[in-house]
Structure 1
Amino acid sequence: MAVEEKSNVKNSSSIVPCFLFVELVIMAGTVLLAYYFEYTDTFPVHIQGFFCYDKSFSKPYPGPDNTSKIPPVLIYSIVTAIPTLTILFGELCAFFIKAEGTQEKTIVTADCCYFNPLLRRIVRFLGVYAFGLFTTTIFANAGQVVTGNQTPHFLSACRPNYTALGCQSTMQYITERRACTGNPLIVMSARKSFPSKDAALSVYSALYTVMYVTLVFKTKGTRLTKPTISLTLLCLAMLVGVVRVAEYRNHWADVLAGFFTGGAIAVFLVTCVINNFQQFQSSPPPQRPQHPESVLGMPMVALPCVESPLEKLRGDLRVLRSHDHQPYRFPATPDVLIPSRSISSEV
């Protein structure tokens, strides 16, 4: 029993320094960068021109984002709560039923700090998820700042004075920075359309949770449980994109770009960073020596051994030498035995 407990414990002196000085620093930098993109003017939005009377930007102004059918507060709450509760529930169930692939060793560092396998997996999966959430926000905000693409209701928010701008036809392109007379904050928000941040966050959260449910939950007898949960989460993410387009807040291209951004980040983190939610192994497991009877995975048939005539002749020769105490030699052919001494001396 003591040997088994000892085998489930692993000593590591690098886990605490790596966590404190590497992972926390990276996480803090990611959160800080996302904050600067979202709530400050550190990164100015690219001012892109527009055509006079452009119909693709002439949709009615739908109001601020808080008045949407799916407001950002609801989206942020869902993308935070659903994955967190799902991972907590899944890890607790896997820990108590001893599911295969989820059992890890307890790490001991400095002979005083014990890291439980359950706590390690929860912190790892939720930490990577939080990192991906802020990374998706950074990618979406960076795309919006760099491109400066207008929303479908841009002209309604901009309220350009076409007479002062001298718009004579729809083919005239306006590049003046002071062309808009509307609220500067609303106009600046109307220049952030590509990619859709809400769509990116929704698909990232849904796909991360779907991959967790699919790879960790081992249900028997309920074949439709995992597909139902997965399709429900993906449909909710797609619904966010549809609402954004229906309310004239984004174009279809913006929503599809957001779907691709969030999905790519989720797939990369799950497959390349946390090893598909399976047990983390720092070194490959030792290979078992293969038994000679099971070469190529097929058992070999035991055949009866047949004694060679030459081996039998050698055995008879040894018997004669033991009785006669005289050396014998083999001729060129092993069929006849010729004594080394002469016949006359034998007589």
Structure 2
Amino acid sequence: MPPERDHREFYTYFGVELVIMAGTVMLAYYFEYTDTFNVHVQGFFCYDSAYTKPYLGPEETSAIPPAVLYAVVAGVPTLVITVTEAVLFLMQYTSKDLDTRKKTIVTGDCCYLNPLVRRTFRFLGVYMFGLFTTDIFVNAGQVVTGNLAPHFLTVCKPNYTALGCQQALRYISHQEACTGNEEDILRARKTFPSKEAALSVYAALYLAMYITCTVKAKGTRLAKPVMSLGLMCLAFLTGINRVAEYRNHWSDVIAGFIIGVAIATFLVVCVVHNFKGKLLLSEDPQQESMSSAPMMSMPRVESPLEKYIASQNHIAFDEVT
């Protein structure tokens, strides 16, 4: 492949991926920090016991605050993947006597990209894309459903007398029924699916699959499943904490788990192909593609000359024996 063509294809691919990533981030921003999408106003029955749980304070007072959770799901996988890729690259670098040309990937006339940087950015870019995608799916579900939190009536503070709630089966569907803090009420209407559960299980599963598929060092046969199960346990504890603090129903947490698991599995299996890739690539991209392509099994047809030589050898062997 000519260098000019390789140069153009690299920057075209990079530009397309950058546009997709920017669009995903902007959509997540509009869902999270603007009122562009109005939350569905779901009604409730008077004195419904499913929504009268105590309110334990804002999200910042939770045992797992959102700021800490977001920092962990964004920082820990980034750190682990970067360090692991650097270690694997150094191990392969010192184990093979390759020249400088085989340790770089030619991307143009004057641009050289280290394979460690390219591979690391690929895995981290896919991870961050999935993180924002999970956030978008969760926010879309919360806006569309408007499911009520277990403590909704506690923060709603409806005037049951003015609403005519002498009968517990009376259904209230108008938004003006609540007299409490508007921000607390709006947050209490956005619980399905659970964002904390979805993000935590997505990060845990992506990182667990990365560790399982990438780390091949001796002595890690038991360490890898222990680390993976530990990550998954932390994610499940996050969902359990949401239910224990009456911030989500079990259905909200389970739906969040399903979304996180589905997105992580899809990206790992279909996008990064179980984190398969070479750290050190050959100098000739065409030769590399030919060597990496699977060989097709074709039937072998012997020529008449080969048949004649084989028959003569067989006769000579019979005469000797």
TM range (shorter): 0.7 to 0.9
One-letter amino acid matched to 1:263: V
Q: Is 1:54 matched with 2:48?
A: yes
> Structure 1's 80 and 160: CA in aligned 2 closer, same or farther, altered over 3 A?
same
Match of 1:91 in 2: 85
Distance 2:275 2:42 in 1: 43
Give the superposition deviation at 1:220: 1.6
One-letter amino acid matched to 2:222: L
Q: Secondary structure in 2 aligned to 1:275?
A: coil
Q: Secondary structure in 1 aligned to 2:314?
A: coil
Distance 2:53 2:127 in 1: 36
Q: Secondary structure in 2 aligned to 1:14?
A: helix
Match of 2:295 in 1: 287
Match of 2:69 in 1: 75
Q: Following superposition of structure 1 onto structure 2, how do residues 174-189 of structure 1 map, counting pairs within 5 Å?
A: 174-189=172-187
Give the superposition deviation at 1:113: 0.6
Give the superposition deviation at 1:223: 2.2
Is residue 59–residue 153 contact of structure 1 (8 Å, CA) maintained in 2? Answer: yes
Q: TM-score, normalised by structure 2?
A: 0.83
Distance 1:141 1:286 in 2: 42
Q: Following superposition of structure 1 onto structure 2, how do residues 252-271 of structure 1 map, counting pairs within 5 Å?
A: 252-271=250-269
Which structure's relative contact order is higher, taking Cα pairs within 8 Å and 6+ residues apart? Answer: 2
Q: TM-score, normalised by structure 1?
A: 0.77
Give the superposition deviation at 1:177: 1.7
Distance 2:117 2:180 in 1: 52
Distance 2:141 2:297 in 1: 54
The structure with more helix, counted as a fraction of residues: 2
Is residue 11–residue 107 contact of structure 1 (8 Å, CA) maintained in 2? Answer: no
Q: Following superposition of structure 1 onto structure 2, how do residues 59-208 of structure 1 map, counting pairs within 5 Å?
A: 59-98=53-92, 106-208=104-206
Q: How large is the RMSD of aligned CA atoms in angstroms? A: 2.6
Q: 30, 40, 43: which is aligned to 2:24?
A: 30
Q: Is 1:305 matched with 2:314?
A: yes
Match of 1:313 in 2: none
> Structure 1's 267 and 60: CA in aligned 2 closer, same or farther, altered over 3 A?
same
One-letter amino acid matched to 2:184: I
Distance 1:120 1:12 in 2: 15
One-letter amino acid matched to 1:67: T
Structure 2 gaps, min length 5: 279-287, 301-309, 317-321
One-letter amino acid matched to 1:208: Y
Give the superposition deviation at 1:85: 1.2
Distance 2:67 2:289 in 1: 40
Match of 1:214 in 2: 212
Give the superposition deviation at 1:62: 1.3
One-letter amino acid matched to 1:23: E
> Structure 1's 186 and 214: CA in aligned 2 closer, same or farther, altered over 3 A?
same
Distance 2:31 2:8 in 1: 37
Match of 1:241 in 2: 239
1:154-177 deviations in Å (ceiling 9; x for gaps): 000100001000012221111122
Percentage of identical aligned residues: 59
Distance 1:80 1:170 in 2: 45
Distance 2:10 2:81 in 1: 22
One-letter amino acid matched to 1:213: I
Distance 1:248 1:289 in 2: 60
Give the superposition deviation at 1:145: 0.3
Give the superposition deviation at 1:94: 1.3
**How many residues get paired?**
287
Match of 1:17 in 2: 12
Structure 1 gaps, min length 5: 1-9, 293-301, 308-347
Q: Secondary structure in 1 aligned to 2:106?
A: strand
